[in-house]
Structure 1
Amino acid sequence: MSLHFSVLASGSTGNATFVGNEKGSILVDAGLSGKGMEGLFQQIDRNIKDLSGILVTHEHSDHIKGLGVLARKYDLPIYANEKTWQAMEGLIGTVHPDQKFVFNVGEAKSFNGLDVESFGVSHDAAEPMFFSFHQDGKKLTLITDTGYVSDRMKGVIKDSDMFIFESNHDVEMLRMGRYPWSIKRRILSDVGHVSNEDAALALADVIGDQTKRIYLAHLSQDNNMKDLARMSVEQVLTERGFEIGEQIELYDTDPKNASPLVYI
């Protein structure tokens, strides 16, 4: 067993990602209810009690809904940066001080031989951050909930073997949709979410020779569709010389169904 992962849930209604190796595993975010999270772990035949901890990207409810419940029930440590801890006060219930750990932006920590590198993103949260995971020369990057992908972010995430990458909305669907203009403006802003086309343009800059799989994540329920996201990203990448289906595979993620465990 080597570095492996499953996108347990991804979308507007809740987000969670499982990452492990032969020695242990961690959870990134717990954006569904405690019961919902337990069901997702059953889908991949893993036990929550075996986790080494939970990493938190930011305090929005679709990333922390089940966090307090899981931490208390399974006595799990939680890792978040100081500003996120402050923002989560009152949102996750009481967590014992012994379960609270600080993992700041730009730091790296090791969990059972799995090296985790944090990096900041541009989102309307206290101090949102995401992660690249490294083991034995392999690299997995998780990046969603950002209004754009800066050169600094690209420098951290480039040349990953696999990406879990935000492809939140189709711009025209969003503009023509039912959301109030204030919400549309927030999503389209630099602290909102990345569109299908912008995701593809960013990916074109970070895909390396060893990149094999890209999981399109955090799709909006109202302003995107799996087929549309995949088609839009594939079109842009193909125009830039990438061979989709041969060199690189694109995969969907789902808000309710875990992706099969993949070993890198």
Structure 2
Amino acid sequence: MKVDILASGSGGNCIALGSSEATILVDVGIAKTKIEKRLLEVGIRPDSIKAIFITHAHCDHVKGLPLANKYKIPVYAAEGEWKSIKGVDFGLQRPIKAGSDVTLDDWYIESFKTHHDAFSPLGYAIYDDEGNKCSVCLDTGHVDQNMLSAMEFSNIYIIEANHEPNMVEVSDYPPATKARILSHIGHLSNEQTAEALSKLVMGVGEQIYLTHLSHKNNMPALAEMTVKRALTKKALRADTHYKIEVV
């Protein structure tokens, strides 16, 4: 399974996953032209994309949806999120429910419910026909047991490590914005991400991508250190038992 994270953060999110037969995108939160350019930079033709899977309809996850109309790409998103998604040709709309699955070429995609201030936010557990599993968990205020069950036994974890709570508290954000970020339907802190990964990572060579870091309220080294510290308590060492990359 080939992973290319084309964009990550509050400015936009877009992930390309490639198998032997097809490439799919999870979220398209940057401009269509930027997605096309970044796909070509990693050797993927935009007209070869088989499907787009949306986690939720906030702008930093759907801004590039004109890509779907241009290349006639089906777009999968939770039924509730279609209330906010505009401009996708009706014939390309694929409403799904949390817990549903999609089979597409040599991909099998399971959706699971996440916790964010959107109508019906989703995460995805994505399998290829070679037995690889990639779990994508972006905007969510907490990780519950159902999410852990959906993500367990993955080879690849793409998960947000959005903020450090103390940095949010002293930031210049309005109080309402701070409360939103820190809420149970906001974003994962470094510690929450580390706790989730400590329950998931078995130390069999998993690849971890920490994504969606806040530019103002986090630091890549801090996010990475927090996860490594949690996994060290399980006697797991980076580059020996797992690999980690901050995007």
| TM score, norm. by length of structure 1 | 0.90
Task: Give 1:209 shift.
Answer: 4.5
Equivalent position amino acid for 1:122 in 2: H
- 1:160 touches 1:210 (CA, 8 Å); kept in 2? no
Q: For the residues of structure 2 that align with 1:134 and 1:123, how far apart are their CA atoms?
A: 24
- 2:204 touches 2:241 (CA, 8 Å); kept in 1? no
Within 5 A, what are the aligned runs for 1:90-109? Answer: 92-93=86-87, 95-109=88-102
Indicate which of 147, 158, 163 corresponds to 1:153. 147
- Cα deviations by residue, 1:216-253 (Å, 9 ceiling, x for unpaired): 01100110111111112111221232212211111011
Equivalent position amino acid for 1:108 in 2: D
The equivalent of 2:202 in structure 1 is 208
Equivalent position amino acid for 1:199 in 2: T
Local SS of the residue matching 2:81? helix
Give the structure, 1 or 2, with the largest relative contact order (CA under 8 Å, sep 6 or more). 1
Within 5 A, what are the aligned runs for 1:71-82? Answer: 71-82=68-79
Percent identity, aligned pairs only? 35
Task: Name stretches of at least 5 consecutive residues in structure 1 with no aligned partner.
Answer: 254-264
Q: Which has the higher strand share?
A: 2
The equivalent of 1:113 in structure 2 is 106
Kindly indicate whether residue 138 of structure 2 is the aligned counterpart of residue 140 of structure 1. Answer: no
Local SS of the residue matching 1:169? coil
- 2:40 touches 2:46 (CA, 8 Å); kept in 1? no
The equivalent of 1:14 in structure 2 is 12
Task: Give 1:61 shift.
Answer: 0.3
The equivalent of 1:262 in structure 2 is none
Q: For the residues of structure 2 that align with 1:211 and 1:86, how far apart are their CA atoms?
A: 40
RMSD over equivalenced CA pairs, Å: 1.2
Task: Give 1:214 shift.
Answer: 0.4
Q: For the residues of structure 1 that align with 2:212 and 2:13, how far apart are their CA atoms?
A: 8
Equivalent position amino acid for 1:130 in 2: G
- Cα deviations by residue, 1:111-164 (Å, 9 ceiling, x for unpaired): 111110100100000000010111232211110100010011001101211100
Q: For the residues of structure 2 that align with 1:84 and 1:142, how far apart are their CA atoms?
A: 17
| TM score, norm. by length of structure 2 | 0.96
Kindly indicate whether residue 84 of structure 2 is the aligned counterpart of residue 87 of structure 1. Answer: yes
- 1:159 touches 1:209 (CA, 8 Å); kept in 2? no
Task: Give 1:198 shift.
Answer: 1.0
Equivalent position amino acid for 1:71 in 2: A
Kindly indicate whether residue 129 of structure 2 is the aligned counterpart of residue 131 of structure 1. Answer: no
Task: Name stretches of at least 5 consecutive residues in structure 2 with no aligned partner.
Answer: none
Q: For the residues of structure 2 that align with 1:19 and 1:210, how far apart are their CA atoms?
A: 21
The equivalent of 1:225 in structure 2 is 219
Q: For the residues of structure 1 that align with 2:234 and 2:202, how far apart are their CA atoms?
A: 13
Indicate which of 44, 47, 50 corresponds to 1:46. 44
Range moving further from structure 2, 58-67 or 77-86: 77-86
Q: For the residues of structure 1 that align with 2:191 and 2:205, how far apart are their CA atoms?
A: 19
- 1:122 touches 1:147 (CA, 8 Å); kept in 2? yes
- 2:58 touches 2:118 (CA, 8 Å); kept in 1? yes
